[in-house]
Amino acid sequence: MMEDKTTQDVEKFVRSVAEHKGWILNRDKDFIDHLVEGLRVNHNRYGFYQCPCRDSYGTREKDKDIMCPCVYAQADIDEFGQCFCGLYLSTGFYDDHDDIDGIPERRPEELYPE
């Protein structure tokens, strides 16, 4: 049985993703803490880091495109400076924005759960 993730595990995970991808984490600590908690909850629900901002099938096969970091994140960061959740940012966007809004969904509608 898979061991539950702790908040510290998830913080380490998101920092590692950001470092590996050359992204930067949002500076809004309350916002980040909420997303980290969402990722922790989802990991312990489904067994993988499912995007906390999208509805889920709850299966690795059908949710594979929205496992954090999702397959849409780089394109969103390139176009909008942030991923769909607002967790990961480009460095330029981070420098210029104190607050962020939502962005359009890039995931095709046909991949959404019925």
Partner 1 sequence: MFDYVDFQHNAGSNSDRDLKLFALSTCGFCKKAMAFLEENALAYDYVFVDLIDSEVKNRIKAEFEERFEKKMLFPTLIVDDEEFLVGFIKFYWQKLAA
List of residues contacting partner 1 (CB under 8 A): 31, 34-35, 37-39, 41-42, 52-56, 85-87, 101-105, 109, 112-114
In the complex, what is the shortest distance from the CB of residue 46 to partner 1, in angstroms, rounded to a whole number?
11
Minimum CB distance to partner 1, residue 38 (Å): 3
CB neighbour list of residue 113: distance below 8 Å, 6 or more residues apart = 55, 56, 57, 62
Output 79 or 105, the one with its CB closest to partner 1: 105
Q: Are 87 and 13 in contact (CB under 8 A)?
A: no
Collapsing DSSP states into helix, strand and coil, what is residue 55?
A: coil
Residue 105 CB, nearest distance to partner 1 (Å)? 6
Residue among 19 and 55 whose Cβ is closer to partner 1: 55
- Shortest spacing between CB 22 and partner 1, in angstroms: 22
User: How many C-beta neighbours within 10 Å does residue 23 have?
Assistant: 22
Identify whether the C-beta of residue 107 lies closer than 8 Å to the C-beta of residue 54: yes
